[in-house]
Chain A
Amino acid sequence: MSATLTIDWNRCQGHGVCLAAFRERLAADRWGYPKGIPTSGTLIPADEIGAARTAVATCPAAALRLT
């Protein structure tokens, strides 16, 4: 089962925790904000959902959602 990862840009502060938790998918832009999550969200395949959940759970700003 896949899921969609979205980001609330209003909350994201560029802490960078998600980048470490979800290296398969996310990388930092030059300001430290995660690249790889377009505004419409990005589809996460089943085998990456664990890492995505960790990223969501550890974000200090609670900016990520997995639906």
Chain B
Amino acid sequence: MSTVSPVLTTGIPGIDLADHPAAPRPDELRLTTGPLFAGVAQAGDFVDLTRHRALWGEQPHLALPDLVAAAAHAGLRGAGGAGFPTDRKLASMAGRRVTAVVVNANEGEETSAKDGQLLCHVPHQVLDGAAAVASATGCGKVVIRLAAERAAVVAAVRRAVAERTETGLQWRVDAVPHRFVSGEATAVIRGLGGDTSLPQDLGLPPRDPRARVRRGSVFLSNVETFARLAQATRGHAPTSALVTVSGAVARPGVYEVPRTWTVADLMARVGLLEHPGIVVTGGWHGAWARWADLARVPLDRDAFASVDARWGAGVLVVLPTGVPLREVLAAIAARLAAESAGQCGPCVFGLPTLARELAAGGSAEHAMAEVDGRGLCAHPSATVAAVRSALAVIERGDT
């Protein structure tokens, strides 16, 4: 890559926010000491269905109430970012006609690579979870929705789907051009109808009341969530954390490690390039945290929340010390602004304004107030929350 202005780069290897190159996804499997990647001896191993069944046995059939109970017992939360309790999402399917179980593999958060790595190495962990939901809800179709650009992931999923043996269950691999918001749940659901993958408002009454009846309900969840659910149906509560680490580290990539490890324990394996100052947690939509506050925290959603960090999609981006933090923030805000679906005025105009005001050194408080809570998906409000968190950390200083 050509030389870039120091003002516009984060200084993070591979993450140049100004030129917006291919996504800086730290797409490499580094270390697995947990159950999700069982059977994978080294990066690149594909656990096929025969090997998967030898390790885990057949996918047990659970009735919906039992599946709900298994998810609740394991304490499962959505692993795509929002962290919604999986048992409640499952319970909401009771008495409904479920037309599709959707594995949301868009992984729009570009600092995350865990979902792609799961699908490339252990796809049947994920597909087992989807099959469990389909059988519990009496649904005959599973759709795996993913970004067409990630050819290796698409190929792995197609290979895995071809191996499945369920009778009466249709598997569909749906590869669509990527956008950050394409992974937003309402966008995925809308895309199922053949529309473009942009968010929509599911709260308003449908314009044609028959449309909703015809479509029925869709159960959608994140890749990792389905894998965790498959484990839960076999009585295993999650013991591992799945984390994507990037930034000023020696070995960026995806790590499955015990969730009792602290951030510092993990970083000892990842290899810090220097004493860190600030870590972006959860993803670009997440929260900034000071290393001093984060280092001793276990790799756990609630523990992260207790120090105002965010688990989100299991992301840690270590900012190099000495980078101009406000400029990094402005660049991230610009990146998020560019990902607007272009549907809602306050998002279309507000996010670029917000990014510009940050770049100009302003507080951007007025712009944030004008964007917050306005729009039909979570993108603008989540962006504002992330910026507020970052500004609070910058205000306090990084040591």
Q: Which residues of A contact B343 (CB under 8 A)?
A: 9-10
- Asked if A14 and B345 sit within 8 Å, CB to CB, the answer is yes
Q: Which residues of A contact B201 (CB under 8 A)?
A: 8-10
- Asked if B374 and A10 sit within 8 Å, CB to CB, the answer is no
How many residues in B have their beta carbons less than 8 Å from beta carbons of A?
18
User: Bound state CA distance, A33 and B343, in angstroms?
Assistant: 13
Q: B373 near A: Cβ within 8 Å?
A: yes
- Asked if A31 and B204 sit within 8 Å, CB to CB, the answer is no
Q: B375 near A: Cβ within 8 Å?
A: yes
User: Bound state CA distance, A38 and B353, in angstroms?
Assistant: 20
Contacting residues of chain B (322-364) with chain A, CB-CB under 8 angstroms: 343-347, 349-350, 353
**Of A10, A65, A67, which one neighbours B200 at CB under 8 angstroms?**
A10
Smallest CB-CB separation from A6: which chain B residue? B204
Q: B370 near A: Cβ within 8 Å?
A: yes
Given contacts A9-B344, A9-B345, A12-B344, contact A39 B376 (CB under 8 A): yes
Given contacts A6-B204, A8-B201, A9-B201, contact A31 B376 (CB under 8 A): no
User: Bound state CA distance, A14 and B201, in angstroms?
Assistant: 18
- Asked if A9 and B204 sit within 8 Å, CB to CB, the answer is no
Q: Which residues of A contact B344 (CB under 8 A)?
A: 9-10, 12
Best-surrounded residue of A30, A38, A39 (most CB of chain B within 10 A): A39
Best-surrounded residue of A29, A35, A37, A38 (most CB of chain B within 10 A): A29
Contacting residues of chain A (9-67) with chain B, CB-CB under 8 angstroms: 9-10, 12-14, 29-33, 35, 37-39, 65, 67
User: Bound state CA distance, A5 and B374, in angstroms?
Assistant: 14
Q: Which residues of A contact B200 (CB under 8 A)?
A: 10
Given contacts A6-B204, A10-B200, contact A39 B375 (CB under 8 A): yes
- Asked if A31 and B373 sit within 8 Å, CB to CB, the answer is no
Q: Which residues of A contact B347 (CB under 8 A)?
A: 9
How many residues in A have their beta carbons less than 8 Å from beta carbons of B?
18
| Minimum CB–CB distance for A3 against chain B, Å | 14
Q: Which residues of A contact B203 (CB under 8 A)?
A: 6, 39
| Minimum CB–CB distance for A65 against chain B, Å | 7
B15-57 near A? 1/0 per residue, CB < 8 Å: 0000000000000000000000000000000000000000000
**Of B349, B350, B373, which one neighbours A39 at CB under 8 angstroms?**
B373
Q: Which residues of B contact A35 (CB under 8 A)?
A: 370
- Asked if A9 and B349 sit within 8 Å, CB to CB, the answer is no
- Asked if A8 and B345 sit within 8 Å, CB to CB, the answer is no
**Of B205, B346, B350, B376, which one neighbours A10 at CB under 8 angstroms?**
B376
Q: Which residues of A contact B350 (CB under 8 A)?
A: 29, 31
Q: Which residues of B contact A13 (CB under 8 A)?
A: 345
Q: Which residues of A contact B370 (CB under 8 A)?
A: 29-30, 35
- Asked if A31 and B346 sit within 8 Å, CB to CB, the answer is yes
- Asked if B373 and A9 sit within 8 Å, CB to CB, the answer is no
Smallest CB-CB separation from B376: which chain A residue? A9
- Asked if B346 and A33 sit within 8 Å, CB to CB, the answer is yes
Given contacts A10-B201, A35-B370, contact A29 B346 (CB under 8 A): yes
- Asked if A39 and B374 sit within 8 Å, CB to CB, the answer is yes
**Of A8, A9, A65, A67, which one neighbours B346 at CB under 8 angstroms?**
A9
Q: Which residues of A contact B373 (CB under 8 A)?
A: 38-39
The 8 closest A-B pairs by CB, nearest first: A9-B344, A31-B349, A33-B345, A9-B376, A38-B373, A29-B370, A10-B343, A14-B345
Task: Write the residues of chain A forming the contact surface with B, with a CB cutoff of 8 angstroms.
Answer: 6, 8-10, 12-14, 29-33, 35, 37-39, 65, 67
Task: Write the residues of chain B forming the contact surface with A, with a CB cutoff of 8 angstroms.
Answer: 200-201, 203-205, 343-347, 349-350, 353, 370, 373-376
Known: A9-B343, A10-B201, A31-B350. 16 other contacts (CB 8 A): A6-B204, A8-B201, A8-B376, A9-B201, A10-B343, A10-B344, A10-B376, A14-B345, A30-B353, A30-B370, A31-B346, A32-B345, A33-B345, A38-B374, A39-B375, A39-B376
Report 15 cross-chain contacts, Cβ distance below 8 Å, ordered by A residue. Answer: A8-B201, A8-B376, A9-B346, A9-B374, A9-B375, A29-B370, A31-B346, A31-B349, A32-B345, A33-B374, A35-B370, A39-B373, A39-B375, A39-B376, A65-B204
